[in-house]
Copies of this chain bind each other. A is one copy, B any other.
Amino acid sequence: MTAITGTANAERRAELLATAAEVFAAQGYNATTVRRIADEAGMLAGSLYYHFDSKESMLDEILSAFLDELWTGYDTVLAAGLGPREAIGALVTQSFRQIDRHGPAVAIYQRESRHLSAQPRFAYLADSQLKFENAWLRTLERGVAEGAFRGDLDVRLVYRFVRDTVWVAASWYRPGGTHSPEEIARQYLSMVLAGITTKT
């Protein structure tokens, strides 16, 4: 009984969060009213507070759930002991899969994370950002050291170039379109890798 209710409860929460994420992504967090989310979910604004503490806690759950999944994928890649080129390829592909599966969350993250990370509650965004930066920078530096990547470029610039190149796609990518995430990843990689690898 309790288990069933708990599951039903969890499902309802997930549904509501998915709805909220879509609206946040479409209109921006600040510009989204709680009433709008409730409308979309077929209830009144006040009723959402039975399920969630606040508008902010909805945002929090959306972003942390996304980051949890993201890091599960990334950590697997990083632990696989791949060479620099393959590692970069795997990370990019992972990223496009996340964009495909968590499009709204990615879009929210892109738009809001900078100013959110100043708040204690969202400090984990800054942590994640740092961990992310470290993972990429180390992989790139390893590639330069091994002679796989060009050494004449500022590594931080390359990092930002690759990072932005990938994540910004969330602003136009729509699931179910012409290209699968893997196909987009393939084309992106063929450009990006050509730009940063040494000529052989």
Contact = CB atoms under 8 A, between A and B. Distances in A.
Number of copies: 4
A26 B115 contact: yes
Interface residues of A, number: 32
B27 A153 contact: no
A28 B30 contact: yes
A104 to B, nearest CB: 14
B111 A153 contact: no
Nearest to A168: B164
A117 B115 CA distance: 24
A126 interface: no
Contacts of A184: 157
Interface in A185-200: 187-188, 190-196
A197 to B, nearest CB: 9
A67 B160 CA distance: 25
Interface in A141-161: 152-154, 157-158, 160-161
Contacts of A26: 115
A19 interface: no
